[in-house]
Amino acid sequence: MCGIAGFFLKEGKASKAPLIEAAASLHHRGPDEKGYVVDGRVGLAHSRLSIIDVGTGQQPMANEDESVWITYNGEVYNFPDLRQTLLKKGHKFKTKSDTETVIHLYEEYGEGCLNYMRGMFSFALWDRNEGLLFLARDRIGVKPLVYTEQPEGFYFASEIQGLFSLNESIPRKINYRGIDFFFTFQYIPSPMTGYRFVSKLPPGHFMVVKDGLIKKISCYWDLPAEPEKKIDYDEACEGLRSIFLEATKMRMISDVPIGAFLSGGIDSSLTVAAMSMFSDTPVKTYSIGFEDESFNELPYARQIADRYGTDHNEMIVKPKAIDILPNLVKGFGEPMADSSAIPTYYVSNFAGRDLKVVLTGDGGDESFGGYRRFTLAARADYLDHFHSVGLWICIRKIILALERLFNKRRRHKRFPTSKGDEILTLNGLERYHYLLAFFSDNEKDLFYTKHMKEMTGSHGTLDYLRGFMERYETDDIFNRYFFIDQKTYLPEDILFKVDICSMMNSLESRSPLLDHKLIEFAVSLPGNYKRRLSGEGKLILKDTFRDWLPESFKNRSKMGFSAPVPRWLREDLFEYLQDELLANTNLHEIVKSEMIKRLLEEHGSGVKSHAKKLWTLLVLGLWLKLENVAL
């Protein structure tokens, strides 16, 4: 895994100087080597984290006659098989790297090369003969790629800070629509970013640039939008076991030592179990916990470590959020308020002291129904068509479940009374949108200043979700919501978070559960193979691998990999929170200062917990200040 950057100017001759600056800004992604190539108006830069073919895999890399150059970030796990196919077709190789395989795949298949690649990647390939720059991002969105079109030409990078290093004149002007989405989801979905003139290439897409101008952006892969297969449950379990083992084995290809994150949850535990089957030595595992027992899964991680005889390493962290949060905000380059970034950063830092590569359990919740919100939404959908004397009993159960989930009732006259009460007035997708929202549309109308309302107009977040729902026609009350999460929350929050937090520590993370063949298989299964209306999730994962896990794991409630933010914001960080939110005049151009004060008063006094809203505001305020964002 590495950092990439480059440009295609409209006129003139490229200089190496901005490439050197960009590679330096991405040093954390690739501290081992730096490489640059300039060819006319095109420049490519690379910061390398050497993992495959350590000795000869330097980048940017070229074909035999140097008519094709690539700067590449990621791993193509099936490259040994692809290499053999290409050798039979007459291609000549000078290295043993997957990077060179991508070059020859492009020579053989052009844009169609992406259909053969199984892995995680983002890259830019310069084809001198065709005069084009070909850029692509992996199917699921594991590896990031941002870009901008400017008067001087086209610029791209792994991270936003890389773009600004390439061209300091890129306007740092706020994208108000993106910020509106951030208030709903705590992240900004592609193709938007927090900046008006910077975009993300969406997962599963490629683009073609000629003469410094974007000529085409196309989707080359999407989740199958077909009816669920009629497949026997036992047959489905066998299929899942086979694909998962294959995906794990492929991800253990490395020329450097490899380990695993072990959170104590089902997904990372299964990953460690599978790794143990393919490893001749004990798997190195890494776990962290907090002093707050409600956020500590270390005892469960130890059970798995003992069961599989891993070389286990664990640490109780005492985060200094005042120190780490600004670094995370700058690392993300745009507002991203998932507080689980903090433990993700710490476990990455812990493992990164010893390793360059870890396997993780990311992706299991979205594909196999791990979140409670799936059940809450599906139960309510079921009630839309449910007419019996037990109707109100069921409704009350939903309300009580929602109250436990959100752990609060909002009784202030200016706030909605309750998630549980309000949700029953909504239908289908509106209901799921409301469950996802950190600030509902009604709350945004209360919090936004006149200026913010003028700049955003009507809220577009519900239509954003509707666009995905309409592409996936199914009567399955679970799969419709799994599909939305796989297209939104998974790439835009989870994978973005893991990439940035791991690469800040020069650590590559790989997840077998993100294999696109495994995800396609999961999508094809009936929803009730994955989750039940009773509330139990990841059914087929638990049943398929029941012999891999302790019996206590099967019915254990999901804890989640998170941090004790509510307590921090009421105790350790409260003074810091007040100072940052009340003194930030740019933030007050977006959110009414009196509403911020109200949240602080109620949260600080213990009357209500507004931790998620306050954390969202804190991240936004820090980004505005640290990055000198222009309103």
Task: Give 248-311 as a DSSP string.
Answer: HHHTT--SS-EEEE--SSHHHHHHHHHHHHH-SSPPEEEEEE-SSGGG--HHHHHHHHHHHT-E
pLDDT > 60? residue 593? yes
* Preceding peptide of 189 cis, ω within 30°: no
335 in Cβ contact with 619 (< 8 Å): yes
- What is the average pLDDT across 98-114? 98
CA 297 to chain centre: 22
416 confidence band (pLDDT: 50, 70, 90): very low
408 confidence band (pLDDT: 50, 70, 90): very low
CA gap 349, 329 in Å, rounded:
17
Instruction: Count CB-CB contacts under 10 A for residue 258.
Output: 21
CA gap 49, 30 in Å, rounded:
4
pLDDT > 90? residue 588? yes
**Secondary structure (3-state) at 1:** coil
- 32 closest CA partner among 47, 13, 45: 47
**pTM for the full model?**
0.93
Residue labelled with tokens 């709350």:
443
Structure tokens at 349: 């830092």
1 confidence band (pLDDT: 50, 70, 90): low
> Quick one: pLDDT at residue 410?
40
What whole-number percentage of the chain has pLDDT above 90? 77
pLDDT > 80? residue 312? yes
> Quick one: pLDDT at residue 288?
94
Residue type at position 574: F
220 in Cβ contact with 116 (< 8 Å): no
358 in Cβ contact with 505 (< 8 Å): no
Domain ranges of the chain: 2-219, 233-324+334-369+483-553, 371-477, 564-631
607 in Cβ contact with 598 (< 8 Å): no
The mean pLDDT value of the chain amounts to 91
CB contact set of 179 (below 8 Å; sequence gap of 6+): 188, 194, 335, 452, 456, 590, 620
- What is the average pLDDT across 299-319? 94
Calculate the alpha carbon distances from 189 to 151, 374, 464, 496 in Å.
25, 20, 9, 10
User: Where are the alpha helices (H) located in 42-189, listed in sequence order?
Assistant: 79-88, 98-109, 160-166, 176-185
At 366-406, the pLDDT tens digits run: 999 998 888 888 887 776 665 554 565 566 566 666 656 65
- What is the average pLDDT across 120-138? 99
> Quick one: pLDDT at residue 412?
36
14 in Cβ contact with 167 (< 8 Å): no
- What is the average pLDDT across 542-556? 88
CA gap 10, 154 in Å, rounded:
8
**Secondary structure (3-state) at 46:** strand
- What is the average pLDDT across 316-321? 82
Calculate the alpha carbon distances from 67 to 63, 64, 198, 291, 333 in Å.
7, 8, 29, 57, 34
CA gap 410, 393 in Å, rounded:
23
Instruction: Count CB-CB contacts under 10 A for residue 108.
Output: 16
pLDDT > 90? residue 413? no
At 476-520, the pLDDT tens digits run: 888 989 999 999 999 999 999 999 999 999 999 999 999 999 999
- 162 closest CA partner among 144, 141, 181: 144
67 in Cβ contact with 84 (< 8 Å): no
**Secondary structure (3-state) at 327:** helix
Residue type at position 552: S
> In terms of CATH architecture, what is 233-324+334-369+483-553?
3-Layer(aba) Sandwich (3.40)
- What is the average pLDDT across 5-19? 96
> Quick one: pLDDT at residue 417?
42
Q: Is the dihedral of CA 25, 30, 32, 36 positive or negative?
A: negative
Instruction: Count CB-CB contacts under 10 A for residue 387.
Output: 7
- List phi, psi (to 5°) of 84: -65, -40
CB contact set of 528 (below 8 Å; sequence gap of 6+): 478, 539
Asked if CATH classification 3.60.20.10 holds for the domain at 2-219, the reply, yes or no, is: yes
At 232-285, the pLDDT tens digits run: 999 999 999 999 999 999 999 998 999 999 998 999 999 999 999 999 999 999
CA gap 407, 411 in Å, rounded:
13
- What is the average pLDDT across 470-474? 82
> Quick one: pLDDT at residue 389?
42
CA gap 8, 548 in Å, rounded:
51
Instruction: Count CB-CB contacts under 10 A for residue 213.
Output: 12
- What is the average pLDDT across 458-466? 91
**Which position has the higher pLDDT, 477 or 333?**
333
